[in-house]
Structure formats: C-alpha cells, structure tokens
Structure 1
Amino acid sequence: MTEVLLIRHGETAWNAVKRLQGHLDIPLNATGERQAAALGRALLDEPLDAVFSSDLQRAYQTAQAVAAPRGMQVLVDRGLRERCYGAFEGMMYADISQRYPQAYAAWQARDIDARMPQGEHEAETLREFSQRVIQTITRIVEQGRYRKVALVTHGGVLECAYRAAQGVGFAHPRDFDIFNASVNRLQWCKGRLKLVEWGDVSHLENLDELALDEIDR
C-alpha cells in the first residue's frame, strides 16, 4: 500500500480573478506563496519518501515549499500537469461563453470527448486528460519505492483522482471542494485509489485569505 498526499498548488493571480490557466505557466501570487509556506510547515513531520510536482511553476513552487525544508528534491513529472484547454486558456471564465458558446456548452455539460478550439496549445478532451492523470499516478505509485508520497498538482488532476477513487463518473456534478494548497489523502491499494480524507486546509486557518475553490464545477 502507498499513501498519497494529493496537493493542489497555492493561489495565483489568475485564480483570484477567475482566468483559466490550463497549460499556461502562471506563478504563485503573494497569497499563494504564504499558503505554500504554511503547507510546508504543516507537512514537515510527515514521513514522505518523495515529493513529485507538475512542471508548471505554480505547482513546482508549492512543491518546493514542502521539499526544501526537509532537504528533499522535487521530482518533476509533466504527467501531473493541468488539463490543456486550448483557446480557452488565458480567458476570463465570464468571456468564454460569449466567444465560444458551443464549445463552452460542451465543457459545462462535461462532454467527455469534446475538444476545445486550438489556441497556443492543442486542447485535451476530458477523457484524454483523465486517462493521462490516472496513468501518471499509477506509474508513480506502482514503482513500489514509496510508502508515502506527495503529488503537488492542479485542480483538474485532483478532480480526476477523486472521481477514480470514489467510482464517480464525470456526468455526476462536482459536489466536492478543490481548494488551493489543500491536502487530500488517498491510498493506493490493490491497483486502485481509495479516498481517506479530502480538502484539508486547516494549515491555512491563521492566514487572512481564504483558500479558493477550483471554479470549474
């Protein structure tokens, strides 16, 4: 069995104004940096065998706050990236529906095979994204090298893992929170994920700012 701490990155300026990031590489803002530092302090006594991160800097900065105080290196894995949203990336959520009404409707309907228009990057369908996420987590934990591992990543990745652990498909509305800098505990046992604890942000209680939920419900 492997314990998995699935962690969403700290807040970015784009999170704060509801601008879609996807594969665009946006750093933490000052609030996110404070959240990451608080996260690192909270996890300092956890016996982690490895800290993995998406290669996008908002996740990597958060992972560094966990790894550096322990004298550990962050292991970067591109498979932990957020979903690619194509032309939606960089846009305010409120503007997407106006510019791309049909694609926006398919996105909101959670059409698992819908592909957004191409932008700076080619978009992933929800099916492609979910398969990438679960394959990446499986590849990491099935190495058999880790008893407890932290994976620092993105809101969409957390959603895929939660649904896989709970056996809930994407047709079901998202009725669970995905907070910035949250700690979400799962177990990998007998070839599947099992949910243990979700959405822990108790380490952020002494900060002035509330952790934002992932906006895409």
Structure 2
Amino acid sequence: MIRVTGGETVSVRTLYVVTHPESTHHVDGLVGGWFDSPLTPAGLRDAASIAAALRARIPERAEVELYSSDLQRAEQAALVIGELLHVRPVLDPRLREKSYGEAEGRPQEWLRQRFVPPPAAGERMRHDEGVPGAETMAVFARRVYAAIGDILRQDREHQIVVTHGGAITFAVASWTELPIESLGYARFHAAPGSITELREDDYFHNRQVFGLGDTRHLGSGGATS
C-alpha cells in the first residue's frame, strides 16, 4: 500500500494475522492445543470469506507471502486463502497454538479439573499450569516470537500468517517488539476466523496495530475459542 503524506510518498508494509476458523474441537468441546482437529464445514466456509476479505485488501498484482501453523485446521484455512491469492503457504510448527500436553483432545472439563491458574502477582510467564507436558506461556511466547521474527526479516509488502487464537497476543507483541518479560498480564483477543492487520511505514518505521480481531467478513455465530 502507498500513502502520500505532506508531499512524501510512504510505502506501508502490512502483516495480516489470521486466526483459523471453527474446527471440530470447538464444537466437540475438546481441548485444542496441538490436537490436530480439522475445520468444520462452517469453518471451511469462513475460510473462503477470510480469503475474499484478504483479496479485497491486497492489490491483485502485489507480491504476497503466506505462512501457516502446520496443524491441519490452520493449514486448511491457509490453502483456501492461498488458492485465491495464488500463493502456496509455508508451514511452520512454531506458529502452533500453545501445547496443553496431556489435556489435548480431552474434554474441556478434564482440563478444568486439573488446571492451576497463574497467580495474581508474581511469576506468570513461567507458571506451571499443572498439566503434564503443557508449555509455559514463556516457552509459547519465545517460539511465536522466533517465527514472526523470521517472517519479518523477509522484505515483502504483504504477508499473511494463519495461526491460532492463543498465538495472537505474541504475534502482536512481537510486531511491536515488546519484551517477553513484560507480557505476564497482556492478552489480546481475536475470535476464530478473524483478521488482525498490522502496518509499518517506511518513513518513521512506526508499527501500528491497525485492526485487532476483525470479523466483519464473517456471518453471525461461529466458534468462541
């Protein structure tokens, strides 16, 4: 995107972060994490709506890069987007949702009975949630930061990342280069199937959260986590 400001021509780099739409673990009431659930029929329809919304925002002849979590619910959405935008997704396991260890694929009630919430004060990013094999928020954050960092090192005007709701906080925080240690209380919400638009100009190099969790392209209803 090109803007003209006070006689100056300013190029704007845009990163679109997409949360995958409804998958089977949403409707079955199961813990997601690394549990490899596919999209539902409604989720696949929403993926087509996401693709159309991105097509409307990105010029036809623009060069686009597309990255995705390698879990099938994200990959399926990325393939739908990529087909419309004529680009193949690059799969990156670092863009996965937070791992919930032994809870993955089990009923949400199983997790609720065992989950140890973080303290109101004190160490929160390295807090042990009480579920064997689960990632701490610090480990989760570091891998998402690493993935977004590598993506941003590529010189492209338009980039798309398809990931998961839990990863949005760290994708946005990485974009603004907030230190991981500062994120103990920070959480950004983006519903399934949403688009978060992040922009950087090439004059001031300011990084803007232009839109967080936009779902206007979706119909009513949908998943909630």
What TM-score do the two structures reach when normalised by structure 1? 0.81
Larger radius of gyration: 2
RMSD: 2.7
1:53 partnered with 2:63: no
- What code does the residue aligned with 2:13 have? T
1:172 partnered with 2:182: no
Cα deviation for residue 95 of structure 1 reads: 2.9
- Partner in structure 1 of residue 151 of structure 2: 140
Give the secondary-structure state (helix, strand or coil) at the position aligned to 1:84: coil
> Per-residue CA shift, 1:93-129, capped at 9, x if unaligned?
333232x2xx4334999831134433xxx32210011
CA contact (8 A) 2:34 2:97 kept: yes
CA contact (8 A) 1:38 1:204 kept: yes
- Partner in structure 1 of residue 131 of structure 2: 117
**CA distance in 1 between partners of 2:207 and 2:32 (Å):** 27
- What code does the residue aligned with 1:184 have? T
CA contact (8 A) 1:11 1:180 kept: yes
CA contact (8 A) 1:166 1:195 kept: no
Cα deviation for residue 188 of structure 1 reads: 5.1
Give the secondary-structure state (helix, strand or coil) at the position aligned to 2:35: coil
1:155 partnered with 2:165: yes
- Partner in structure 1 of residue 34 of structure 2: 23
**CA distance in 2 between partners of 1:108 and 1:28 (Å):** 35
- What code does the residue aligned with 2:103 have? F
What TM-score do the two structures reach when normalised by structure 2? 0.79
**CA distance in 2 between partners of 1:39 and 1:136 (Å):** 22
1:94 partnered with 2:106: no
- Partner in structure 1 of residue 97 of structure 2: 82
Change (3 A) 1:163 1:186: same
**CA distance in 1 between partners of 2:53 and 2:64 (Å):** 16
Larger deviation: 50-59 or 72-81?
Answer: 72-81
- What code does the residue aligned with 1:78 have? P
- Partner in structure 2 of residue 204 of structure 1: 218
- Partner in structure 1 of residue 54 of structure 2: 43
Aligned length: 203
**CA distance in 1 between partners of 2:37 and 2:223 (Å):** 16
Structure 1: stretches of 5+ with no match in the other structure? none
CA contact (8 A) 1:2 1:141 kept: no
**CA distance in 2 between partners of 1:133 and 1:179 (Å):** 18
